[in-house]
Structure 1
């Protein structure tokens, strides 16, 4: 009998019995359950189990925070419950049965962008660094940049664009590949489709926007414009899903002995043609409307209201999973305006959640057990991952979550009000300043201070207010 045995028996009982478990896997710190009837889980009793640091429901999964020993806990759990091991992917698929159509759509979007986020993070850092050495006049009395006085830095600036261009201009390749990968269709066809959207044969999207003459493919009876869709998100998504649709349909009707020849040809060629005739232009228009609407809201006379609402509501969006939709909007803003004023607010929301947990650490400084959750959660939030902070601490006490939302809203108002723009998405929390365009870094630093001080202060104040301070604080306060 291990130190977890009793806790595991309690967890199985409070979760509705092993017969209520459809599937269970684990990640670095959490158990991920898919339950037949999520309502049978007694959350209060589950969170009272000694080994449990918190719980939450996301993407159709009931997730229980265990901590760094989750793999040991999991291995004993599946033995005691007599259930089969599962992967995170198995759990994701099973969990979709508990989602409504909107949540399923958001889940699909998240899974498309997740594999390409690391590249976008690198691209954002590269663009930021290029701006620092190439645009900020920091030498010779503020009259020259590093690239103007040093051949080394000039060469570095030139070289780094090779990577930046590959990531952002050729983004459609990553999107179409990711769609093919996610849907289990032929990944190389997704890659080829993406290349046909950004081929050097085509007039670059930036050239089209600049009014250059557009070449055409002339078929005699019709002409098709040779337009590239560099950095465009929606045209790539529409084309990717058409390719997937055609391939899956064809595999059902084409005999297996000729499928290797027929299916790729009849999937790819029509998709590329339709992409350039219909989906590309339509997708570009949709993307332009969305980005103009968001950018207009963030630069209008009511920008403070837009910023306040987004800053206040972003954390609740994370709970629902709807925050993944902002990735596509951010990328579209980058392609249209050379940067995004949405991402800075997301980074500030991360910081605000971490700051609220920091206050809880201070309030409960004698509670060694809670520090096992709160300290890693603070670090994680300050590095851009807020789920441990929100589900492990802030939602548990309620008032830190409110304090973080208010602090995030005030920081967002300052950020948008002063015109802060980021080069790219992906770097969240405190490192988010590395994504900010150099001329705005000072203003963003002030916004970061707001996101640190206000949530910390509000959490401290609300903890003294009987209306907000709940039994959890009274129970744990040293």
Structure 2
């Protein structure tokens, strides 16, 4: 079935354009807010070839399509419905009320998901260069090495600019001003924190020493700064006369927010980010496999809430910290995803039903490739016990990769694609952890799930 036909059928089955309050999409799902959810024919939507599952969360009617293809289906959907794309933040706000923690997690998710392609590209280059260097297959003065080295670090160097652009859109500000604010925090006149040695230049203000250090690769300083900028922007637009708005407003906004970002917000944001990274590193080094057991065993529960993408902020903080510079959380998430794939495979062998196999097989393969929503929502949660089996596999696999200090060089890729960003010295243990998580997830699901278990829906 084509993306166009699928989009048209989904539109009809959710009750037509008049039943759609807003529409957006994330990496794998259509996220709709419907005026009347009861009008949606869920069973018929789930029966469509390109649909992997349907569920409702935080007031959103979410249709699982899959990575990549969801973009094309969504493009056809809004064309057929004759509506404009809303941001995922708009869709979230149009849904049910969330507590502050959920709102924060959703906001972080909306900011960092669009940035993932750039980080993945840099991480892949970093992994490739590491492999070539460790095997002495390329000289450091080679033009290709120089170019790939720039590609591998560029996304992290300009990370505040990327966050500023996307964050301003999410917080209701001007994205160009947000990007410019990111440029201020990574300006060449501020010493690059990645390359700084002992000591750094500073200036005095009101009796305080203000360090002139840049924020390349940092996350929380820019997040707070762009949020503050959007607040200032709204106030300035209310005060400045319309005739002078285009001239005075950008100047006032950047002068005020740039000053406060360098003097106060940046240092406080760096302190917050360093504190989170240091706490996680302490757990990683001292709790070891126990931390992996807990994180790996609970990650799929977090996926159900849909806010797991908010972890990218923390992962990028780890990568951007020169003292850490490795993502040790993503291997744990990867084991949890693979284990859900193994649990989904177990359902195939346990049920031995053609209809179940038709849904479970592509869902299991998708989980092994890093996209777990089809397996979790389409199969494992519907039978409940396979999902529990996946949690067990994720816990054991997570404990193993922490025990063996497996690290990755980017965010966003898990399962088999995650091999591309695993550090060279961690490759063997990542593969072993992959096998452990898959096999235990499979066996636990197979043992826990009775043959005659019926799906909940």
Alpha-carbon displacement from aligned partner over 1:416-444 (angstroms, at most 9, x marks no partner): 01111111212222111221111111111
Q: 5 Å matches for 1:45-444? A: 46-47=42-43, 51=47, 54-64=53-63, 85-89=82-86, 93-96=90-93, 97-100=95-98, 101-134=100-133, 136=134, 138=135, 145-147=136-138, 151=139, 154-208=142-196, 210=197, 212-217=198-203, 224-300=210-286, 302-336=287-321, 337-367=324-354, 369-444=355-430
Shift of the alpha carbon at 1:33? 3.8
Q: 1:50 to 1:353 in 2, by over 3 A?
A: closer
What TM-score, normalized by structure 1, do the two folds share? 0.81
Cα distance in 1 for partners of 2:141, 2:331 equals 28
The 3-state SS of whatever aligns with 1:57 is: strand
Q: 1:126 to 1:463 in 2, by over 3 A?
A: same
Q: RMSD value over aligned CA atoms?
A: 3.7
Task: Point out the more displaced range, 87-96 or 161-170.
Answer: 87-96
Task: Point out the more displaced range, 335-344 or 22-31.
Answer: 22-31
The 3-state SS of whatever aligns with 1:206 is: coil
Shift of the alpha carbon at 1:234? 0.4
Cα distance in 2 for partners of 1:236, 1:72 equals 33
The 3-state SS of whatever aligns with 1:426 is: coil
What TM-score, normalized by structure 2, do the two folds share? 0.85
Contact 2:78 2:85 survives alignment (8 Å): no
Shift of the alpha carbon at 1:221? 7.7
Q: 1:363 to 1:307 in 2, by over 3 A?
A: same
Shift of the alpha carbon at 1:313? 0.6
The 3-state SS of whatever aligns with 1:89 is: coil
Q: 1:415 to 1:154 in 2, by over 3 A?
A: farther
Rg (Cα) greater in structure = 1
For residue 459 of structure 1, the aligned residue among 442, 445, 450 is 445
User: What residue in structure 2 maps to residue 142 of structure 1?
Assistant: none
Alpha-carbon displacement from aligned partner over 1:37-86 (angstroms, at most 9, x marks no partner): 76x689xx94488736642123531224589999999999999xxxx654
Shift of the alpha carbon at 1:154? 4.7
Contact 1:24 1:85 survives alignment (8 Å): no
Cα distance in 1 for partners of 2:410, 2:63 equals 33
Cα distance in 2 for partners of 1:311, 1:253 equals 51
Shift of the alpha carbon at 1:182? 2.8
